[in-house]
Amino acid sequence: MAELLPSLLDVAVLVFSVTSMLAVGLSYTLREIMDPLRDLRGVLLTHAANFVLVPLLAYAVARLLPLDQSVQVGLMLVATAAGAPFLIKLTQLAKGDTAFGAGVLVLLLVGTIIYMPIVVPFVAPEATVSAASIAMPLILTMLLPLGAGLFIDARLERLADRLRPISNRVSSIALVALVALTFLANFRAILGVFGTGAIAAAVLVIGGAFALGYLLGGVDPREREVIALATAQRNVAAATVVATQSFDDPDVLVMVVVTSIVSLAALFPGAWALGRRQQGQAEGERGSAALREKSPPA
C-alpha cells in the first residue's frame, strides 16, 4: 500500500489541476481572465510580492532559524515558485472573483517559468534547472486545459454546459483525495522533521506571504484577498520538479512537501473564513437596503 500511495497522489494532482483549469475555461471568457493584465501597477506589485519579497522573506527565515542546508534549499525552492492551481478553489471558498483569480494564476505561471531557472542556481549553485522541465508540466496540466475550456465555451456551448458541472464536481473530489493522500504518503517524512524548525519555517513563510500579498493587493477587498491567497499558495508542482531533478538529497523534497501541507492546512480554512465574512457583509448590506426601502420617507 505504501508503494501505491505516491502513484495515487500523482493521479490526484493531475486530475485536480486539469479539471480545475478546465472548469475555469468553461466558466469565463478569455477577456475576463486577462483583465488583471490591464492593470500595470497591479501586475508589477503582484510580481514584486511573489518573486522578490517572498524569496527575501524565505531567505530571512532560513537565516533566522537553525535549519539544515537541505531544508533551507527546499524552503527557497517553494519561495521562488508561484502560481498554483489551488488558487481557483481558494478563491471560490473566499467568495472572490474567480475570473480575476484565474488571470492572476496565469500571470504567476508565466513568471515562474521564466524566473525559477534564473534564480535557483543563485540559491543553490549545484542545481541545474531546465526551463523546459518546469514549463512542460505546467503547460500540459494547467494552461492547456484552460485553453481547451475557453475554446469549448466559445464554440461548443451545449458541450460546455454539460462539462462545467462535471469538471467542478470532479475537481472538488480530486482535491479531497489529494489532501488525504498527501498526508498519508508523506506521514513518516513529516514526523521526521518535527523539532528541526522546518514546520515553523513553513508557517512563517506562508503566513508572511499572505500578509505581503494582502498589503500589496490594492484597494478592492475581493481582489486584495485573491492576491493574498495567490502569494501565500506557492507552486509546489514546480518546486517538486526542481527538487527531484536537480538534488540528490531527499530532505530538499521533504521540505517542499512539508511547506505544501502547511499551506493546505492553513489556507483552505483561512479562505473559508474569508468567504464567511464576505457572505456576512453581503447579507448585512442586503438587510440594510431592505430596511431603507421599508422606512417611510421623512
Q: What is the pLDDT of residues 11-66, one digit of tens each?
A: 888 898 899 889 989 988 888 888 777 888 888 899 999 999 999 999 999 999 98
- Bridge partners for 234 per DSSP: 82
Residue 286 lies in a domain: no
Number of domains in the chain: 1
Residue 297 lies in a domain: no
Nearest one of 274, 236, 270 to 255, comparing CA atoms: 236
* Domain containing residue 223: CATH number: 1.20.1530.20
25 residue type, one letter = G
Residue 282 lies in a domain: no
DSSP code string of 63-108: HHTT--HHHHHHHHHHHT-B--THHHHHHHHTT--HHHHHHHHHHH
Residue 283 lies in a domain: no
Mean pLDDT, all residues of the chain: 85
Residue 295 lies in a domain: no
Residues 107-137 pLDDT 10s: 898 888 888 888 888 877 777 777 787 788 8
pLDDT beyond 60 at 297: no
Q: How far apart are CA 254 and CA 186, in angstroms?
A: 8
Residue 207 lies in a domain: yes
Phi-psi region of 19 (alpha: psi -120 to 50; beta: other; left: phi over 0): alpha
Residues 6+ apart with CB under 8 A from 61: 75, 201, 204, 205, 208
Residues 65-99 pLDDT 10s: 988 888 899 999 999 999 888 888 899 899 888 88
What angle (nearest 5°) sits at the alpha carbon of residue 20, between those of residues 15 and 22? 95
Q: What is the model's pLDDT at position 22? A: 92
- φ and ψ at 194, to 5 degrees? -60, 130
Nearest one of 185, 165, 167 to 175, comparing CA atoms: 167
First-last CA distance in the chain: 73
Mean pLDDT is lowest, of 169-178, 181-190, 224-233, for: 181-190
Residue 79 lies in a domain: yes
Q: How far is CA 172 from CA 151, 217, 264, 279, in A?
A: 23, 27, 14, 21
pLDDT beyond 70 at 283: no
Does the pTM of the predicted model rise above 0.85?
Answer: no
For residue 135, what are the domain limits? 4-277
pLDDT beyond 70 at 2: no
Q: What is the model's pLDDT at position 194? A: 72
pLDDT beyond 60 at 286: yes
Q: Give the pLDDT band (50/70/90) at residue 285.
A: low
Nearest one of 179, 206, 202, 204 to 74, comparing CA atoms: 202
Q: How far apart are CA 160 and CA 25, in angstroms?
A: 9
248 residue type, one letter = D
pLDDT beyond 80 at 196: no
Residues 229-274 pLDDT 10s: 999 999 888 888 888 777 777 788 888 888 988 898 899 999 999 9
